[in-house]
């Protein structure tokens, strides 16, 4: 059987009528692509979709989660959700809160960038620990540059994570359940520093853009965040590492229209152009499978 099936071949293989499969394809409920006016179906993805439709023995039907994308903030993701018209509602709060919302069935997708301090791996260890029973998939969104966000020209000459512990330095931090906070804690630990050795402002930033805003407005001398937000405000940036930002969801929800619409948009030229303009993103693997549980 070929890797790509026609409507007739796919309907025969699934034992559905061609009309039923056509309706599913038009509603974006099965993996399919319309090329030259014809519907084509990747056989491997179709097999995966079929497997996810089977109920787990001994369990009742799963309640469909709301079309909510919860978790970490990413400006490229926020823009793509709006521009794609995918219908996902954004619910911030940080990577850990997004993962917990996904586990409770309160979100369809969790956006996360959580490092495992023991292995240095991103997202899979946290998802494996937080999503009991497996059945989830991590879809690569982007690789992002993380580092120090500083005033234009970097007047204090900061160049390493240890510089954040300089006496008298005002640093804007993130909320404790954010992926950036966990990553900063990891880097400080590797440098032999404790969190209480850094002079953080009393109120943390709740999103990436708030870190850059605090530096741009002079409320902080430094922050830890992504290159794209520094560039958006004309700030200096010292890269420290590259992180993987993933979208985690139940395997069945990968095939739902909101997710498919977002990922289809992310394969287009407008998305690539936006990522290039923002800077600090590698979207080579966007839409690919990062891990499965």
Q: Find the angle CA(108)-CA(110)-CA(113) to the nearest 5 degrees.
A: 165
Distance CA 293, CA 285 (A): 19
pLDDT surpassing 80 at residue 56 = no
pLDDT surpassing 90 at residue 63 = no
Please tell me the least confidently modeled range out of 2-16, 34-48, 78-92, 117-131. 34-48
Give the global pTM: 0.78
Ranges of beta strands (E only) in the chain are 4-6, 33-35, 38-42, 68-71, 89-91, 109-112, 136-150, 171-172, 222-226, 236-250, 281-282, 289-292
The number of C-alpha atoms within 13 Å of 11 and in the hemisphere containing its C-beta is 14
Distance CA 46, CA 32 (A): 8
Cβ-in-10-Å burial (0-12, 13-18, 19+) of 8 comes to exposed
The pLDDT value given to residue 82? 96
Closest among 186, 198, 113, 202 to 158, alpha carbons compared: 198
Question: 76 vs 84, 167, 232, CA distance in Å?
Answer: 12, 35, 12
Distance CA 124, CA 199 (A): 32
pLDDT tens across 130-183, in order?
887 668 899 999 999 999 999 999 999 999 999 999 999 999 998 888 888 989
Q: What percent of the chain has pLDDT over 70?
A: 94
Region 91-98: mean pLDDT is 88
Distance CA 111, CA 91 (A): 10
Letter string b/e over residues 95-124, b meaning 16 or more CB atoms within 10 A of that residue's CB: bbbbbbbbbeeebbbbbbbbbbeeeeebbb
Please tell me the least confidently modeled range out of 42-46, 157-161, 220-224, 280-284. 42-46
The pLDDT value given to residue 219? 95
Ranges of beta strands (E only) in 54-195 are 68-71, 89-91, 109-112, 136-150, 171-172
Please tell me the least confidently modeled range out of 12-26, 42-56, 113-127, 145-159. 42-56
């Amino acid at each position: 059987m070929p890797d790509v099936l026609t409507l007739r071949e796919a309907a025969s293989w699934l034992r559905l009528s061609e009309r039923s499969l056509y309706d599913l394809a038009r509603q974006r409920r099965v993996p399919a692509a319309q090329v030259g006016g014809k519907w084509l179906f990747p056989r491997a993805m179709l097999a995966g979709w079929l497997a996810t439709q089977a109920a787990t023995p001994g369990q009742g039907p799963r309640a469909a989660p709301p079309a909510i994308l919860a978790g970490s903030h990413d400006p490229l993701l926020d823009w793509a959700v709006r521009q794609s018209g995918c219908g996902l509602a954004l619910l911030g709060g940080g990577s850990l809160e997004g993962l917990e919302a996904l586990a409770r069935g309160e979100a369809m997708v969790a956006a996360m960038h959580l490092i495992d301090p023991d292995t240095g791996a991103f997202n899979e260890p946290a998802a494996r620990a937080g999503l009991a029973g497996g059945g989830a998939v991590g879809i690569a969104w982007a690789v992002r540059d993380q580092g120090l966000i500083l005033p234009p020209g970097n007047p204090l000459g900061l160049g390493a994570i240890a510089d954040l512990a300089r006496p008298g330095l005002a640093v804007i931090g993130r909320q404790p359940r954010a992926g950036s906070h966990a990553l900063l804690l990891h880097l400080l630990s590797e440098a032999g520093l404790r969190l209480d050795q850094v002079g953080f402002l009393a109120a943390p930033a709740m999103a990436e853009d708030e870190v850059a805003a605090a530096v741009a407005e002079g409320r902080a001398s430094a922050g830890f965040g992504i290159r794209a937000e520094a560039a958006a405000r004309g700030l200096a940036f010292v890269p420290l590492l590259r992180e993987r930002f993933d979208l985690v969801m139940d395997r069945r929800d990968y095939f739902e229209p909101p997710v498919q619409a977002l990922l289809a948009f992310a394969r287009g030229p407008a998305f690539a152009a936006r990522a290039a303009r923002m800077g600090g993103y590698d979207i080579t693997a966007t839409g690919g499978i990062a891990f499965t549980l």
